[in-house]
Chain A
C-alpha cells in the first residue's frame, strides 16, 4: 500500500485540469450538435413523407441500441477503411470523432425528448395555425416549438449531464480528456489513487453545479392552455 502523496497530487493537478478542459470542450460541442441535430430528427420523424420519417425512425432506433463506445470506435477506426467516403470525412481527428459520436448518439435521445414535447402540444394549436393560414415553417417556429422546447428542457438537461459523464470514453480513441490523462499517469508513475481521486473531484466540481442548473430547469412553470 502506498500512501497519499500531496506533493505528487499537486504536481499532476494542472495536467488533469487540462484534460478536464478537453472533456468539457467535447461535451459543450457535443451537446450543441445533439440539441440541434436532435430537433431536426424529431421534426423529420413527424414528416408526412414516409421516405423521410421511416428511415429516420430506424436510424434513431439503431443508434440508441448500440453502445457509444462502439460508435466511437467505428468513427475513429472503421470509417477510415471505407474508401469511397471523401477523405476529410473519413479521417477524423480524435476530438472531432468524439464530438460527432457524442453529438449523434445523444441527438437520438434528444430527438425523443423533443418528440415528447412536440406531442404534448395540443392538436388545436396546429388547427388554429391552419385556420390562420400560417406556413408550416411559421407554425413550427412561432407556435409549436416555443411550447414544445420548454417541455423538453428537463430531459435535455439530463442528457447534458449524462454526456459529460460519457465524454471520458473518448480516451478509447486517444482524446486527451481527463480520464486519458489519469490513465497515462497511472502507467507512467505507477500511482493510481491520486490521479483518479483528483479526476473524480474535478468531475464533481463541474457536474454538481450542472445538475443544480438542470434541476432549476425542471422547476420552470409551463404555459397553461
Chain B
C-alpha cells in the first residue's frame, strides 16, 4: 500500500536466480533488490549476462532456479496452499503487466505508424477505445518530441526517433518497472543525446523503477541512484555512481572502467 496516489514504480526482488544456456551459466545465484522508483544502471563486460537480467525480468527468457518478485508478487511462481509452484501463463501475464522493456534495436512494428505503434497495446490489452488510445498516443509522442511524426512509419524515422517512439510505446502501458537494454548502442553518436534527454526526464520524474544496461557512463553517473558492476553471472560490486566510478573496490571494475572510458 502506498501512502499516496502517485505512481512510484514497483520493487524488484531477485533471489538466487540461475539462468544457464547449455553449459554457460549466465546468472549464477543472483540476488538483487531494486526499490520502487529507483534508477539502477548495470554495467559490465559484454557477455557477462547483464542483458539477461533484464530479459528474465521481462520473461523473454525463463529462469532455471530462484524467484523473482515484482511489487511483492511472484513472477514465475504462484502460492498454492502455501507452497510455491510454477506459475501459469495467465499469472505471468498478470504480473508482467507492470513491466515493459525498450530494446537496443527498437523492435517497432514496421507496418504501423508511430501513432499506431503506441496505440496497439493500450487498445488490445487495456481495452482502451481508439479515441482514448489516440489521445494518449499523441500526448506521449509529444512528450518524447515527436508530435510532428505521428503518422510516419518507422522506416521514415531516424534511429533516435525510432527509439523515442519505442519509449512512448512502452510508456503507454504505464509500467511500474521499465527495462532499458542498451537503448543507445545502435544509434549514430549524434542521435544518442535526444534519447538520453527523454530518459533523463523519465528518471527525474521518479514515476517508475528503471533498470538500464548501458555503456553511457556519463548518463549513469548523472542519473543513476545505484550502479551495479556485473561480472561472471554475479554482482561484483555496487554503489552510488560517485563511489563506483571514482573509487571502485575491485581491480576488475577499475580495468573495465578504464577500458570503457578510454575510447
Query: In angstroms, how far is the closest chain B Cβ from the Cβ of A146?
Result: 5
A133 touches B96 (CB 8 A): yes
Q: A124-B103, A127-B60, A142-B124 are in contact. Are A132 and B111 (CB under 8 A)?
A: no
A124 touches B107 (CB 8 A): yes
Q: Does B224 contact A (CB under 8 A)?
A: no
**Which chain B positions have C-beta within 8 A of A66?**
none
B111 touches A147 (CB 8 A): yes
A-B contact count (CB 8 A): 73
**Which chain B positions have C-beta within 8 A of A147?**
110-111
A127 touches B107 (CB 8 A): yes
Q: Does B37 contact A (CB under 8 A)?
A: no
B124 touches A127 (CB 8 A): no
8 Å CB contact of B120 from A131, A132, A223, A224 = A132
**Residue among A130, A132, A224 with max Cβ neighbours from chain B (10 Å):** A132
A131 touches B58 (CB 8 A): yes
Q: Does more than half of chain A's interface fall in helix, strand or loop, or is it mixed?
A: helix
Q: Does B154 contact A (CB under 8 A)?
A: yes
Query: In angstroms, how far is the closest chain A Cβ from the Cβ of B114?
Result: 14
Q: Does B83 contact A (CB under 8 A)?
A: no
Q: A125-B109, A135-B124 are in contact. Are A130 and B60 (CB under 8 A)?
A: yes
Q: A125-B109, A127-B107 are in contact. Are A224 and B155 (CB under 8 A)?
A: yes
For chain A, the bracket of interface size reads: 10 to 19
**Which chain B positions have C-beta within 8 A of A134?**
120-121, 124-125
**Which chain A positions have C-beta within 8 A of B170?**
131-132
A131 touches B100 (CB 8 A): yes
**Residues 118 to 134 of chain A near chain B (Cβ within 8 Å):** 122, 124-125, 127-128, 130-134
Q: Does B93 contact A (CB under 8 A)?
A: yes
Query: In angstroms, how far is the closest chain B Cβ from the Cβ of A122?
Result: 7
A138 touches B124 (CB 8 A): yes
Known: A131-B58, A131-B99, A132-B125. 7 other contacts (CB 8 A): A125-B107, A130-B96, A133-B96, A135-B93, A138-B125, A223-B110, A223-B111
* Bound CA span A225–B102, Å: 16
Q: Does B101 contact A (CB under 8 A)?
A: yes
